[in-house]
């Protein structure tokens, strides 16, 4: 448990400040910060209480939002930016998490008096308008302002609003200096279109930002199978994910595969996407994604110079699997242990290439659908996603069980539970 108070520059308590415990991990060779736990909100005395935190190292984050979005300037204050805004702050009082001081919590720890102060920074406004096709009604056009940088903190720092002005006008206020991505997305009945723009906010207001949302190109494709196809192909969905963010937010809507295996992705924008296939039964994996002679499964589908096609997704029915048991130091089965399948480089940088399961009451586990490749298996009691951090994995790398998967593999393993404090790696 961690408690403290949040104060303003005059040492007065600040109410309704959102507190989060933030963990540092490394993904794809980059350091990222991710909020964890329940979070807390300060009361009228500026007090907060974060509890039920697992043992570990944390940074404390304080957020204050004061209504960043106004869809259309109205009234005598229209167009005027406020004098200042409280910006996200990290203990003991820095706006840059790279300069924050972390805290270490052990089991049962209660850490009190973790007070820090929030200061206002001069804020500006961003104003402009969005145009879009008539079939995308105005009530379905959304904006989001997303700080660039720390991926894990984006969802806590990103602000959203719906455009209400019939002409698509918008005004964003209370924006602190920094680098942002401004996103616009229009949602139709069966489709969506989107655009985004990089914006650097300094000391001056930014006006006349124009988003022209246009319908994108159509990308045809088909799914082919090596081995027997699933009984019902219409259960399968194909989507285009943002290559960098690994999310579907900025791609076209997912589409169902037809009984003949074909599909049609509409409104593919100018971007680089990764193909994502959902609804495959156990034992099936995406073996290849091609456009013509080009393999694009890992490199991505680049539509910045126009859309070509068709997209051919090859699915194999011969995924590997591995089953086994986890034993503790006394050679007893260990229920509730986390078993993690970690790919060897270069796929180790891809979060979706990892898999984890929990052992049953007999200490047994089964991972059903594994792409061919080289892996290591680990068994331990860890927090979710800890194993994605190379610094966390490095001391136990030599304790992993090597696994070589080929198509149709049926492997077995008897894993030793890695202790909470594994032996140090010799220098």
CATH number at residue 141: 2.60.40.1120
- What's the order of all strands across the beta sheet hosting 364-370? 364-370, 320-327, 410-416
Alpha carbon distance 301, 240 (integer Å)? 9
pLDDT, position 187: 72
Max mean pLDDT range (50-64, 360-374, 378-392): 360-374
Does the structure show a pLDDT above 70 at 265? yes
Identify whether 427 is part of a domain. no
Residues 224 and 289 in one domain: yes
Residues 309 and 339 in one domain: no
Please tell me the least confidently modeled range out of 2-16, 237-251, 351-365, 366-380. Answer: 237-251
The arithmetic mean of pLDDT across residues 223-239, rounded, is 92
Please tell me the least confidently modeled range out of 21-35, 54-68, 177-191. Answer: 21-35
Does the structure show a pLDDT above 60 at 426? no
Which of 285, 316, 347 terminates a domain? The answer is 316
The arithmetic mean of pLDDT across residues 28-54, rounded, is 85
Identify whether 106 is part of a domain. yes
Please tell me the least confidently modeled range out of 132-141, 192-201, 357-366. Answer: 132-141
Please tell me the least confidently modeled range out of 42-56, 166-180, 240-254. Answer: 240-254
Q: How confident is the model at residue 152 (pLDDT cuts 50, 70, 90)?
A: low
Burial bucket for residue 248 (CB in 10 Å: 0-12, 13-18, 19+): middle
Residues 324 and 394 in one domain: yes
Identify whether 155 is part of a domain. yes
Q: How confident is the model at residue 254 (pLDDT cuts 50, 70, 90)?
A: confident
Read off the tokens for 41: 């909100």
Does the structure show a pLDDT above 90 at 47? yes
Beta strands in 227-350 (DSSP E): 237-242, 255-256, 262-268, 272-278, 285-291, 294-295, 301-302, 311-316, 320-327, 338-343
Peptide bond into 92 cis (omega under 30): yes
Residues 335 and 407 in one domain: yes
Kindly report the length of the chain.
427
Segment 291-349, tens digit of pLDDT = 988 999 988 888 877 777 789 999 999 999 999 999 999 999 999 999 999 998 877 77
Residue percentage of the chain with pLDDT more than 90? 39
The dihedral of CA 194, 197, 198, 204: what is its sign?
A: negative
* Bigger pLDDT: 54 vs 42: 42
Residues 236 and 185 in one domain: no
Give the number of domains in the chain. 4
Which of 260, 292, 316 terminates a domain? The answer is 316
pLDDT, position 244: 59
Alpha carbon distance 404, 424 (integer Å)? 26
Residues 350 and 295 in one domain: no
Residues 63 and 147 in one domain: no
Residue 382 backbone phi and psi in degrees, to 5: -130, 165
pLDDT, position 247: 46
Identify whether 393 is part of a domain. yes
Can you tell me which residue has the tokens 């080929």?
406
Residue 398 backbone phi and psi in degrees, to 5: -70, -10
Q: How confident is the model at residue 425 (pLDDT cuts 50, 70, 90)?
A: very low
Residues 101 and 8 in one domain: yes
Read off the tokens for 181: 């991505």
pTM (predicted TM-score):
0.69
* Bigger pLDDT: 363 vs 36: 363
* Bigger pLDDT: 79 vs 144: 144
Cα torsion for 359, 361, 364, 366, to the nearest 10°?
Answer: -60
Residues 240 and 199 in one domain: no
Strand partners, 22: 35, 59
CATH code of the domain covering residue 237: 2.60.40.10
Which of 316, 334, 360 terminates a domain? The answer is 316
Cα dist from 366 to 162, 344, 403, whole Å: 45, 20, 14
pLDDT, position 383: 63
Alpha carbon distance 417, 389 (integer Å)? 19
pLDDT, position 315: 97
- What's the order of all strands across the beta sheet hosting 206-212? 69-70, 169-175, 124-131, 206-212
Rounded to the nearest integer, the mean pLDDT of the chain is 83
Identify whether 151 is part of a domain. yes
pLDDT, position 333: 95
Please tell me the least confidently modeled range out of 283-297, 303-317, 342-356, 376-390. Answer: 376-390
What is residue 253's DSSP assignment?
P
Segment 69-78, tens digit of pLDDT = 444 544 444 4
Identify whether 204 is part of a domain. yes
What domain range is 201 assigned to? Answer: 124-212
Identify whether 113 is part of a domain. yes
Taking a C-beta distance cutoff of 8 angstroms, is the pair 1, 53 a contact?
yes
Residues 16 and 45 in one domain: yes
Residues 27 and 113 in one domain: yes
Closest to 84 measured CA to CA, from 57, 119, 49: 119
Residue 293 backbone phi and psi in degrees, to 5: -90, 0
Long-range contacts of 335-338 (CB under 8 A, 24+ apart): 335/359, 335/360, 335/361, 335/362, 335/363, 336/381, 337/363, 337/379, 337/380, 337/381, 337/417, 338/379, 338/380, 338/381, 338/382
Residues 92 and 133 in one domain: no
Cα dist from 171 to 125, 148, 254, 315, 379, whole Å: 7, 20, 31, 47, 51
Identify whether 183 is part of a domain. yes
């Amino acid at each position: 448990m961690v408690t403290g108070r949040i104060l303003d520059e005059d040492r007065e308590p600040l109410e309704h400040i959102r507190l989060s415990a933030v963990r540092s991990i490394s993904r794809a060779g980059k350091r990222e910060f991710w909020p964890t736990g329940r979070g807390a909100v300060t009361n009228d005395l500026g007090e907060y209480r974060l509890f039920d935190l697992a043992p570990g190292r944390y940074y404390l984050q304080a957020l204050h939002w004061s209504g960043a979005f106004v869809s259309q300037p109205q009234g005598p204050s229209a167009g005027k930016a406020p004098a200042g805004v409280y910006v996200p702050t990290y203990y003991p009082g820095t706006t840059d998490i790279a300069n924050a001081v972390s805290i270490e919590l052990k089991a049962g720890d209660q850490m009190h008096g973790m007070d820090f102060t929030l200061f206002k920074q001069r804020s500006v406004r961003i104003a402009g308008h969005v145009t879009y096709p008539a079939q995308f009604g105005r009530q379905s056009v959304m904006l989001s302002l997303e700080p660039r940088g720390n991926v894990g903190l984006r969802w806590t720092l990103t602000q959203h609003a719906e455009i209400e002005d019939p002409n698509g006008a918008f005004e964003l206020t209370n924006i602190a200096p920094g680098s942002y991505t401004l996103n616009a997305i229009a949602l139709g009945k069966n489709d969506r279109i989107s655009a985004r723009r990089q914006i650097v906010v300094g000391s001056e207001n930014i006006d006349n930002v124009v988003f022209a949302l246009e319908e994108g190109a159509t990308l045809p494709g088909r799914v082919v199978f090596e081995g027997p196809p699933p009984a019902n192909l219409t259960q399968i969905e194909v989507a285009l994910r943002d290559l960098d963010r690994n999310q579907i937010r900025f791609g076209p809507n997912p589409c169902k595969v037809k009984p003949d295996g074909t599909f049609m992705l509409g409104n593919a924008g100018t971007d680089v996407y990764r193909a994502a296939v959902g609804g495959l039964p156990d034992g099936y994996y995406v073996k290849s994604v091609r456009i013509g002679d080009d393999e694009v499964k890992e490199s991505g589908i680049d539509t910045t110079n126009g859309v070509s096609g068709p997209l051919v997704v090859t699915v194999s029915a011969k995924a590997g699997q591995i089953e086994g048991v986890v034993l503790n130091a006394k050679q007893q089965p260990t229920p509730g242990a986390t078993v993690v399948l970690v790919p060897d480089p270069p796929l180790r940088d891809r979060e979706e290439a990892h898999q984890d399961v929990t052992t049953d009451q007999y200490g047994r586990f089964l991972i059903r659908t594994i792409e061919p490749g080289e892996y290591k298996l680990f068994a331990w009691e860890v927090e979710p996603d800890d194993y994605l951090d190379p610094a966390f994995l490095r001391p136990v790398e030599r304790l992993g069980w090597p696994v070589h998967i080929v198509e149709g593999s049926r492997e077995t393993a008897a894993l030793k539970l890695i202790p909470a404090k594994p032996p140090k790696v010799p220098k």
